[in-house]
Amino acid sequence: MKSASRVIDAIHFLRDHPGASLGEIADVLRVHKSSASRLMRTIEQQGWAARDEAGLTYHMGPTLISIGRAAVDQFLRSDRLLPILESLRDISGESVHLALFDHYEMLHVMRVDSPDVIRVSCPVGTWDPLHCTALGKAFLASLPDEERRRLVLGLKPERRTPNTITDRKVLLAELEATHARGYAIDREEGRVGVRCIALALVDAQGRSVGAISITGPAFRWTQRAMDRVIDDILAAADRGMRAAGYAGLTPRRAARSRV
Amino acid sequence: MKSASRVIDAIHFLRDHPGASLGEIADVLRVHKSSASRLMRTIEQQGWAARDEAGLTYHMGPTLISIGRAAVDQFLRSDRLLPILESLRDISGESVHLALFDHYEMLHVMRVDSPDVIRVSCPVGTWDPLHCTALGKAFLASLPDEERRRLVLGLKPERRTPNTITDRKVLLAELEATHARGYAIDREEGRVGVRCIALALVDAQGRSVGAISITGPAFRWTQRAMDRVIDDILAAADRGMRAAGYAGLTPRRAARSRV
DNA sequence: CAACGCCGTTGCGATTCTTGCAATACCGGA
DNA sequence: TCCGGTATTGCAAGAATCGCAACGGCGTTG
């Protein structure tokens, strides 16, 4: 099924290279210019690509906006992720959240609450910033270097608590550490009294989609408490993500989970 | 370019029929089940489709989430829509906003301000509800009947001002009138002292993407003021949208603009 | 001013990829 | 165990696609 892949490859290329020319597209797809011309015309007619006035450069078409919207909807209705959240809650005893990257923030879309009377829970549908949450840091850390830098340099890391990282350079270093560690930690950086760890959610093609966080009150969800369960959490998350058709943890993270 | 269209048709079908089986997909695409099987496998490998555990039903894949996100980005960076907003501002003298439908609200993404010292302007990046803004009503009115009903019946029309429509049945009737009229009117339903008219933005394939509104203070942006420029506005919007690769106004609206 | 280079588009024959069929494999229920 | 319902695979026929070469538009250059 070669030609089907070509359509998808073309859209992916347009995503990463807005304003590409026909020649570039033909080059990347390894086809003749004439074939690329015919292909792009078809895609354009379907509204999945658009050209500038001159007809020389291609962009993603507006119809893809509604595609993405529907994809988020169906993603949420899918019940394949809930078991992951539940298993992480059972292991940790704390609330578990799933958030997607959306408009430069993390959008909370799914939640499983801690059974404890004292618990932390963020309403579904609300947004959290990237720089001061474990969710955001896990997501950022999972991105390719270039994209991560672009995002970090584009945001304004405003102070939320005394622990908030407000310097972009420090944040980038923290993201390096997060990447090496395999999971993100929020040490009361977004809200006083709240601590989280979070794991990036990466699809089978390696694209970062969002993150899953385990959130608890700082007096209980201490470093020691995290250390006690982190191996189980990493193992369970890796299993669950793979079972749900995602990439699972990266080799480095998986290595740690094998300890 | 038949096979390229097939991929796109398949995704569109999955959007409208989440959980479709292979048989249904083959049926819609007018191909043999075996071909559909091979096609869907390819799409699935690319992350654009996903199956349930049993492998019997298909859904949109998580990778499409990032596709949609990038499409919004490129949509905003495109400068083909700005001229439309500017021309509408010049005709009306009021501020013009462009919003996309996003998570059951209208997301403001582009703005051109009125030159007047007294003006209304909504920050880019903020959301407005569907039921009490011209943007939302124009978008809803442009949808197919079934989808419109589904959306309206799903939302909670909370009161914002004395003029807010809080009854879903009344709202549906208002949307019928909006559709017939060709543009939406907000009579201080969202904010006291603010009036708007809005036009739906529909892509070349007939999919509603968002809306464009012209917003002014109620003392100046009166029914009489609107009547004075409405024909010019409709004509300019129709021209501009078509030039930018969108559907332009519907025949009914266009008919009015020919008056 | 004409020739050139660069870009995207079109007509056409060769070929590659895709298709539909039939057979196979799988699962659950009778 | 067999049946009805799925999805998948091997294979030959066939159709859609490909690459080529030629064309037309546009800006630059000699």
- The percent of residues in chain A predicted with pLDDT above 70, rounded, is 95
**Distance from C-alpha of A235 to C-alpha of A248, rounded to nearest angstrom:** 10
pLDDT at position A146: 86
Q: A70: which chain B residues are within 8 Å (Cβ-Cβ)?
A: 15, 60, 64
Closest nt by CA–C1' to B3 = D16
Q: Which residue is nearest to nucleotide C27 (CA to C1')?
A: B54
Distant-in-sequence, close-in-space partners of A58: CB < 8 Å, separation ≥ 6: A14, A19, A20, A21, A22, A25, A40, A44, A49, A50, A51
Closest nt by CA–C1' to B54 = C27
Comparing B126 with B140, which gets the higher pLDDT?
B140
Please say whether the beta carbons of A99 and A109 come within 8 A.
yes
Q: Which two tokens stand for residue B34?
A: 């075996």
pLDDT classification of A47: cutoffs 50, 70, 90: confident
pLDDT at position A249: 82
Q: What is the mean pLDDT of residues A47-62?
A: 88
Q: B60: which chain A residues are within 8 Å (Cβ-Cβ)?
A: 67, 70-71, 74-75
pLDDT at position A111: 87
**Distance from C-alpha of A125 to C-alpha of B154, rounded to nearest angstrom:** 15
Q: B69: which chain A residues are within 8 Å (Cβ-Cβ)?
A: 68, 101-103
What's this model's pTM, rounded to 2 decimal places?
0.76
Q: Measure, in angstroms, how far nucleotide C16 C1' is from residue B207 CA.
A: 36
Residue B115 CB coordination number (10 Å): 11
Q: Which two tokens stand for residue A38?
A: 């015919």
Q: A246 and B62: CB-CB below 8 Å?
A: yes
Is the pLDDT confidence value at A103 over 70? Answer: no
Identify which of B4, B5, B71 has the shortest CB distance to residue A60: B71
Is the pLDDT confidence value at A22 over 60? Answer: yes
Measured in whole angstroms, the distance separating CA B90 from the mean position of its chain's CA atoms is: 23
pLDDT classification of A62: cutoffs 50, 70, 90: confident
Identify the three-state secondary structure at position B146: helix
pLDDT classification of A207: cutoffs 50, 70, 90: confident
Is the pLDDT confidence value at B256 over 60? Answer: no
Is the pLDDT confidence value at B75 over 60? Answer: yes
* Closest chain A C-alpha to B117 CA, distance in angstroms: 30
Q: A7 and B8: CB-CB below 8 Å?
A: yes
Chain A residue closest in CA terms to B7: A4
Among A39-48, A106-115, A246-255, whose mean pLDDT is lowest? A246-255
Q: Measure, in angstroms, how far nucleotide D20 C1' is from residue A31 CA.
A: 13
A177-199 per-position pLDDT tens digit = 999 999 999 999 999 999 999 99
pLDDT at position A102: 73
Chain A residue closest in CA terms to B244: A53
Identify which of B52, B62, B107 has the shortest CB distance to residue A203: B62
Largest CA distance in chain A: 65
Q: What is the mean pLDDT of residues A138-155?
A: 90
Is the pLDDT confidence value at B250 over 80? Answer: no
Q: Which is nearest to A128 in space by CA: A153, A155, A99?
A: A99
Region class of B132: left (phi > 0), else alpha (psi between -120 and 50), else beta: alpha
Identify which of B51, B107, B205 has the shortest CB distance to residue A47: B205
In the chain, the amino acid numbered B63 is T
Chain A to chain B Cβ contacts (< 8 Å) = 164
- The percent of residues in chain A predicted with pLDDT above 90, rounded, is 59
Q: What is the mean pLDDT of residues A210-216?
A: 95
Comparing A212 with A128, which gets the higher pLDDT?
A212
Is the pLDDT confidence value at B148 over 70? Answer: yes
Q: A70 and B52: CB-CB below 8 Å?
A: no
pLDDT at position B251: 55
Region class of B30: left (phi > 0), else alpha (psi between -120 and 50), else beta: left
Q: A65 and B59: CB-CB below 8 Å?
A: no
pLDDT classification of B7: cutoffs 50, 70, 90: very high
Is the pLDDT confidence value at A1 over 80? Answer: no
Chain B residue closest in CA terms to A73: B103
pLDDT at position B103: 67
Residue with tokens 């904010």: B191
Q: Measure, in angstroms, how far nucleotide C10 C1' is from residue A34 CA.
A: 9
* Closest chain A C-alpha to B252 CA, distance in angstroms: 23
Please say whether the beta carbons of B127 and B108 come within 8 A.
yes
Beta-bridge partner residues of A203: A246
Q: B72 and A65: CB-CB below 8 Å?
A: yes
Comparing B73 with A259, which gets the higher pLDDT?
B73
B57-74 per-position pLDDT tens digit = 999 988 888 888 788 888
Comparing A219 with A245, which gets the higher pLDDT?
A219
pLDDT at position A125: 66
Q: A43: which chain B residues are within 8 Å (Cβ-Cβ)?
A: 4, 8
* Closest chain A C-alpha to B2 CA, distance in angstroms: 8
Chain B residue closest in CA terms to A11: B67
B189-198 per-position pLDDT tens digit = 999 999 999 9
- For nucleic chain C, give residues with Cβ below 7 angstroms from it: A 1-4, 21-23, 33-34, 37-38, 40-41, 55-56; B 3, 6, 30-32, 34-35, 38-39
Q: Measure, in angstroms, how far nucleotide D2 C1' is from residue B143 CA.
A: 51
Query: To which H or E segment does residue B91 belong?
Result: helix B82-92
B34-48 per-position pLDDT tens digit = 999 999 999 998 889
Chain B residue closest in CA terms to A64: B68
**Distance from C-alpha of B111 to C-alpha of B97, rounded to nearest angstrom:** 5
- The percent of residues in chain B predicted with pLDDT above 90, rounded, is 59
**Distance from C-alpha of B147 to C-alpha of B206, rounded to nearest angstrom:** 13
